Amino acid sequence: MTLIAAGTMVLEDRVCKPGWLATAAGRIIDCAPGPAPRPPDHDFPDHVVVPGFVDMHVHGGGGASYTDGVSSEIEQAAEFHLRHGTTTTVASLVTGSPDDLLRQVRVLTEVTRQKTVAGVHLEGPWLSAVRCGAHDSTLMRNPDPAEIDALLDAADGTIRMVTLAPELPGSLDAITRIADAGVVVAVGHTDASYDDAKRAIQSGATVGTHVFNAMRPLHHRDPGPALALLEDPRITLELIADGVHLHPALVRQIIEAAGPRRVALITDAMAAAGLPDGSFRIGAVEVEVTERVARVRGRPTIAGSTATMDQLFRTVVGQLGGSDEALANAVRMTATTPASALKLDHVGSLRAGRDANCVVLDNNLGVHTVMRDGSWLPRR
């Protein structure tokens, strides 16, 4: 058994000063507020210990991409984000040809079985060409039952989430089909009306993909999908709170209106995360990064992000006032809520029975060290 103590530790939804937890065989076996019951094996009196971050929407990082279908690249990207505190990664793919998607899913299925990532997110190909963002609009298509079944069969249970545009022909049947397979359905990259989005929710959609980005904007006579997603308590709202995709005031208002139990912070990071400005790709789409902002080459369209989860964690704690409540809410939005949205009941909080995944943060909320499945990541 390993005993860990810290001057500040967020256990479940509670900020404990101090707090401790005990691990064995990769799991948390006990935890409580207050001083440790014996001298700890690892003591962090001047640090903050929080659950490992859960990123439910990320395309790559550290110069590597999940979208190329190469095992070594997938491992490199996952390792990069792990060092920034993301102990649970769902690898996001972008729109591609049927053959390419099948190949990528098969590779990610094997990598998921090795526990490098926690599953696959299909962001496309069943998206709106009008709201394509950094996807190749020429490869977008309407949902096809045969293609859906082929991808689900190839994944063998490793697809965790599918993003689609509910206004496309056949989309409501597709939502039902995918949800019945135990896969989370998200509404995104969509030109849907308010009523289209409501029908998608009634059919089984439970997530809004990077809300407000790549979807019909809110208008007082045509509220579009964003309002339908915001007002329904069944929906988890993905937000990219990097200061680029959404104005900080809007982020605060969404968190206040919906509550942190419905907000999941995502990076939507691409290969450029952690690297200097330059030229990159997301799938087949060329991307230029200037001053850490990624855009489709030759267009003003934002193309994913260069953020990491620890960056988003620090940003949101600051935006919410830096209090203990802000700390607890940031933990929920970077770990507990995304884990719940994806039905990952073994991660997302520090409590007995969960995987021993935690991040030790310094006084500036920078990553000091990371534990995954009970093992400390080697320090660099």
Q: What residue numbers does the annotated binding site for Zn(2+) cover?
A: 123, 189, 210
CB-side neighbour CA atoms (13 Å) of 189 = 27
Strand ranges, E, within 106-226: 120-123, 159-164, 184-187, 207-208
Q: Known binding site: residues? A: 123, 134, 189, 210, 213-214, 221, 245, 302-304
Give the separation between CA 190 and CA 210, rounded to whole angstroms.
11
Count of residues in the chain: 380
Give strand pairing partners of 65: 60
Tokens 């995944």 — which residue?
Answer: 357
Per-position DSSP letters for 88-133, written without gaps between them: EEEEEE----HHHHHHHHHHHHHHHHTTSSS-EEEE-SSS-GGG-T
Give the active site residue among 55, 191, 268, 355: 268
Alpha-carbon distances of 58 from 143, 267, 270, 277, 366, rounded to whole Å: 23, 6, 7, 19, 20
Give the separation between CA 36 and CA 108, rounded to whole angstroms.
40
* 345 catalytic residue (yes or no): no
- 375 with 368: CB under 8 angstroms? no
Q: Please provide residue 338's backbone torsions phi and psi, each rounded to the nearest 5 degrees.
A: -60, -35
Residue 160: strand, helix, or coil: strand
Cis check for the bond before 125: say yes or no (omega within 30 of 0).
yes
Q: Known binding site for substrate: residues? A: 134, 213-214, 221, 245, 302-304
Task: Give the residue numbers marked as catalytic.
Answer: 268
